[in-house]
């Protein structure tokens, strides 16, 4: 869980940091569009929260999280294609954000619920309540992932960050894809049935 969380936050931070460059360099749109895109992403993600809770009760948290990691990785893989003539730049930007908002809804809700299950399982096994330690560890990994993501993006854009010389910006999407795909692969090993069976016992 910790490894997948670190990979997820690193990949997400790389792409979030790159959003300004995606809009202004790859799509050659006005910088003001970024604020609107972020607002749309937050609102759309929030609207999906009830569906996330419903599906988690019916299908379990693990398959939804793995699916969200896969979905997000595929969205990131679309970053290198931004700026093509197939669609207007603004349309491409909104499409990217809308596709990103859905997995963000799942990954904004489910990880804490999974961590609560793990903490409960640990308490049953050890007889000690250590929820605070688990959530503190996740917060630490989140900070590490975000820091590493910012540093990674800064390194990538040394390979190109301007119109016509944008290799580093486009590669950030590939790196985000690899990290989120890795997060999905690692989290697929999470033994949800064992954890929840113990918790429900």
**What distance in Å separates the CA atoms of residue 92 and residue 84, rounded to the nearest whole number?**
9
The tokens for 69 are: 């990691």
Read off the pLDDT of each residue in 110-136 and give the average, rounded to a whole number: 84
**pLDDT of 125:** 80
46 phi and psi angles, rounded to 5 deg: -60, -40
Better pLDDT: 193 or 75: 75
Length of the chain: 201
In order of their start, the domains of the chain are 2-200 (1.20.1250.20)
Q: Under a CB-based contact definition with an 8 Å cutoff, are residues 149 and 13 in contact?
A: yes
Q: What is the mean pLDDT of the chain?
A: 90
- Percentage of residues in the chain with pLDDT exceeding 90? 69
Provide the 10 A C-beta neighbour count for residue 35: 9
What string of DSSP letters covers 165-183? Answer: B-HHHHHHHHHHHHHHHHH
76-96: pLDDT as tens digits: 999 999 998 889 999 999 999
| pLDDT band (50, 70, 90) for residue 69 | very high
The yes-or-no verdict on residue 10 having pLDDT over 70 is yes
| pLDDT band (50, 70, 90) for residue 3 | confident
**pLDDT of 198:** 53
The yes-or-no verdict on residue 19 having pLDDT over 70 is yes
137-177: pLDDT as tens digits: 888 888 999 999 999 999 999 999 999 899 999 999 999 99
**pLDDT of 44:** 95
**pLDDT of 136:** 86
Beta-carbon contacts of residue 174 (< 8 Å; ≥ 6 apart): 76, 77, 79, 80
**pLDDT of 37:** 95
The tokens for 183 are: 């997060």
Read off the pLDDT of each residue in 120-135 and give the average, rounded to a whole number: 81
Q: Under a CB-based contact definition with an 8 Å cutoff, are residues 177 and 78 in contact?
A: no
């Amino acid at each position: 869980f910790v490894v997948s969380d670190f990979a997820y936050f690193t990949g997400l931070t790389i792409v979030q940091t790159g959003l300004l460059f995606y809009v202004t360099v790859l799509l050659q749109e006005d910088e003001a569009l970024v604020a609107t895109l972020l607002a749309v992403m937050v609102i759309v993600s929030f609207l999906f929260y009830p569906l996330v809770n419903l599906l988690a009760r019916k299908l379990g948290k693990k398959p939804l999280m793995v699916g969200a990691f896969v979905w997000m990785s595929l969205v990131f893989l679309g970053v290198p294609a931004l700026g093509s003539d197939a669609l207007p730049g603004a349309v491409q930007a909104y499409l990217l954000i809308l596709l990103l908002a859905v997995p963000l809804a799942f990954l904004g809700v489910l990880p804490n619920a999974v961590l609560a299950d793990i903490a409960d399982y640990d308490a049953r096994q050890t007889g000690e309540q250590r929820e605070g330690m688990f959530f503190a560890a996740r917060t630490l990994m989140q900070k590490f992932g975000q820091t590493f993501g910012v540093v990674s993006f800064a390194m990538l854009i040394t390979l190109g960050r301007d119109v016509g010389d944008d290799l580093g910006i486009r590669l950030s999407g590939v790196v985000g894809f690899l990290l989120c795909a890795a997060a999905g692969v690692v989290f697929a090993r999470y033994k949800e049935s064992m954890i929840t069976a113990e918790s429900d016992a």
